[in-house]
A and B are shown apart, each in its own frame.
Chain A
Amino acid sequence: QQQVKQSPQSLIVQKGGISIINCAYENTAFDYFPWYQQFPGKGPALLIAIRPDVSEKKEGRFTISFNKSAKQFSLHIMDSQPGDSATYFCAASLNSGNTPLVFGKGTRLSVIA
């Protein structure tokens, strides 16, 4: 019920390509879905987040697509750059906000020139 399943575990994308990372959840009470970006030696940092009242949110080259009926959401990185190489975590939290974020297991993205 509390799990968030993330795929793929690792991803290699050519510079300029589109990186796509997918997450699925079971608990329909989740109503906040953030993505965190982590560079080596650093703590995770919020990248972009979405709530279920919209199907898509875009910030620059980063887009979250949300499919409420399928209980899935995904991160798309357009025009991927070597500087995007990092580990990405999807997460979810319950509508009360009182239960801390449940994280996926992470995707290690490598963008190669």
Chain B
Amino acid sequence: EAQVTQNPRYLITVTGKKLTVTCSQNMNHEYMSWYRQDPGLGLRQIYYSMNVEVTDKGDVPEGYKVSRKEKRNFPLILESPSPNQTSLYFCASGDRGWNTEAFFGQGTRLTVV
């Protein structure tokens, strides 16, 4: 089954404790991206990657890091999480550019206290 898998689905952590949210896709997509979803703000892009070892900042990259060492994986790293990073996070992947269908993971609900 074609899918984008995020882990964990739910996470509660404390301010300053480094965490990683993993994202893996089994569709051999070149394009991957992270979004955060907040009420009234829609989906805002954090980082995206067009291929292995190629990453770019999105609209809200502050406080986040990403890496793309393998085509299938695109982890999101919060080095020192803060309460304003409490949000619902989605990983997405796409084939042959973003002007075709983007496939989204199930989401990771992160709470930073």
Contact = CB atoms under 8 A, between A and B. Distances in A.
A94 B42 CA distance: 19
Contact of B98 (A9, A43, A93, A104): A93
Chain B residues touching A, majority SS: strand
Interface in A31-49: 31-32, 34, 36, 41-46, 49
A44 B99 contact: no
Interface footprint category on A = 20 to 34
B106 to A, nearest CB: 5
A31 B104 contact: no
Interface of A: 6, 9, 31-32, 34, 36, 41-46, 49, 89, 93-106
Given A43-B106, A103-B43, 4 more contacts: A43-B92, A89-B42, A97-B97, A103-B35
Contacts of B35: 103
Nearest to B97: A97
Given A42-B107, A44-B90, A100-B31, A32 B99 contact: yes
Interface residues of B, number: 27
B74 interface: no
Interface string B88-108: 001010101111111011110
A97 B98 contact: yes
25 contacts: A32-B100, A41-B106, A42-B106, A43-B4, A43-B90, A43-B104, A43-B106, A44-B43, A44-B90, A44-B104, A45-B104, A93-B97, A93-B98, A94-B99, A97-B98, A97-B99, A100-B33, A100-B45, A100-B58, A102-B45, A103-B35, A103-B42, A103-B43, A105-B42, A106-B43
Contacts of A104: 42
A98 B100 CA distance: 11
A31 B98 CA distance: 11
